[in-house]
Structure 1
Amino acid sequence: MSEISRQDVLDVLKPIWMTRNETASRLRGRLENIFAYAVSDGLMAYNPALWRGNLDRELPPPSKVQNAGHLEAMPLKELQEKIHCFLPPKNRTRQVILFTILTASRVGESAPARWDEIDWENKIWSVPPERRKDQKKYPHRVPLSRQAIELLKGIERKGDLIFCIDASNQGSKYSLRPLLQRMTGTKATMHGFRSTFRDWAAENGVPDTVAEKCLMHTTGNAVVQAYQRSDLLEQRREVMQAWADAVFEKYKEL
């Protein structure tokens, strides 16, 4: 492994970076994770798959790569410009869209959220196992940014459900897409905001493992998962606050 160089990594990534960028970005992240273990074990002197100050000198950032198959993902700069479309968040549509963006979650996780899933003291939203796509048998903890807490505090309680969308009501869940597109005048999708978050994380030096855990993705193989049992909550808390600040860069209040 000590013979693997930055150029070796580039030789693997360059052929697919412009045409299959999402796959290439994930591959780079996996390599960075593997090499991090090698560096800590003394098998490598440095990590040749690091992005910032390394591969970013040779490869354009994911947000700049025009992938025809992923036009539904709104670039961060456009999101910053369009965020006003959801302000003030006085109705359930705006509220659930903003909450989903701020938590980088899936609509199937956020739309049916319940008030008893919110830990106000510790600023955590616990997604129950039945709504976890990865099928793990325990809740997924999502650290809530200042903006997310402010949003929730401004929502009038009308029952157990925060956004009044039942988990069994699939129609309500997926009707957000046309509403989002009509409100923003774009072809963006709700799921695309997760890609926006992932690109932002990659461009701002967020460790791959932390970014993937923010998205409730499984990281590493079975061996890595066995050793890496922490959900990195406090590291993710810093990331989610930085993400919220970036989204609301032009607007300091909801």
Structure 2
Amino acid sequence: MTEYRRILLDGAAVEVVRDGDRLLAPDGRAVGVDEAVHLPPVVPSKIIAVHLNYHSRVTEFQGRLPPAPTYFHKPTSALNAHGGAVVRPERCEWLNYEGEIAIVIGRTCRNVSPAEAGEYIRGYTVANDYGLHDFRDTDAGSMLRVKGSDTLCPLGPGLVTGWDFHGKRIRTLVNGEVAQDGNTADMEWDMHYLVADIARTITLYPGDVLLSGTPANSRPVRPGDVVEVEVEGLGTLRNHIVSGPVPVRADVGAQPTESEEVRSTALGGDWEFRGVRAPRRP
């Protein structure tokens, strides 16, 4: 396996290769892993995410999987990197982590079978598909603001090639405590299936990202929290939560809400089940 990272090196974006505790640039320059300023490891033209894939997540919501995957789109302006700050806007309370594995496309991909899809994958990276559920009442169909607001798509720290996704552990930790603990064996649709499914009608280009779903126990986090996603063989993606300095404008558009659906979704319940209440978070 080889791990590639994108970092700021003397003010320029450079793709480097990890060699132990050092990151090596093509021109011979080197920087320590812990000293590097990271960028997202890829520059995608699009980011596509599957709604539900892990059986533990479906069980948590007291539901069932659809007969085929369903997806939503995160704008590239949501991209963030290892070590970056994830912003919870003022007037919003329900920002949830979702530890995931991201598939990165390596060459133009269209109309391939699941058996062929692996040939079009460059590698994999760690992702955190944050959701701002305060906007779920208005954007549940598209998930645009829920999942697409600025900073809500950290990727990294590196892109790993030659990684076998079968039977790999994925964990999310909040302030050092395990919050999610799953395994890719719990996925209904594997990485190759997802790529082939999307590529039936949408051309995937080199660098494009597919997010493959999250296990159970996505929960809200607040400013000051440190969130880490660990994937066996891919490393650890670390981010911290900050409060946005400017409130969401109140003079335009749908406003953040705290309905039963918002609270229950954020806390892992079926919103149609009555009696789901939770204290407001500061």
Higher strand share: 2
Q: Which range, TM-score by smaller chain?
A: under 0.3
Higher helix share: 1
Please, what TM-score do these two structures have when normalized by structure 2? 0.26
